[in-house]
Amino acid sequence: IVLEAEPTGYPRAPVGKKRVWIDVRNQQFVAYITFDRRGEMWKSFEPGWSRYEDGTAAVKDAKGNSDWSWTYVHSHDIQANRMSRIMHTQSTTGGYKSLLSDNGVDVYNKYLTNQAITRLGQA
C-alpha cells in the first residue's frame, strides 16, 4: 500500500507531502519519504526489523516466542546528504524503558496530551 499525505491549514509547514509504503502482509512500513514545499525529495526513512535475539539472550512474548519489532531506522536527509541511524534500545535518558506491549500504561494520557507534553518538556 502506498499512502500520501499533505498538510492542510499550515501554509508555512516545511513538509509539502509525505509518502509511506506499507507491506500488506504484516502491516509494517517499508519506506517513508518526505518532500519539501517545492515538491523535491527531502528525507527518506527505511526501517530494519528483526527478532530480539542475540545468541542465547532473547526477549520473549507471553507465549514464549522471541519478540520482533523494528530495531533501527536509517534516515537520509537527501538535500544535505546526511545519514542518521535511530536505534531501538532497552532504555534511554530519563529512565524511560522500551516496552513491546503497553503493560497497562495509558500511553495517550502519559505522553501525548498537551499537559503530558508540557510536563515532559520540563524534565
Nearest partner of 6 among 20, 23, 14, 18, judged by Cα: 18
| pLDDT score recorded for residue 7 | 93
pLDDT the model gives residue 71 = 85
Q: Please state the rounded mean pLDDT for residues 14-34.
A: 93
In this prediction the pTM is 0.69
Q: Which has the closest alpha carbon to 100: 122, 57, 71, 123?
A: 71
Q: Which three cell numbers stand for residue 90?
A: 532497552
Helix (H, G, I), strand (E, B) or coil at 20: strand
Q: Residue 13 pLDDT > 70, yes or no?
A: yes
Residue among 111, 9, 100, 109 nearest 49 (CA): 100
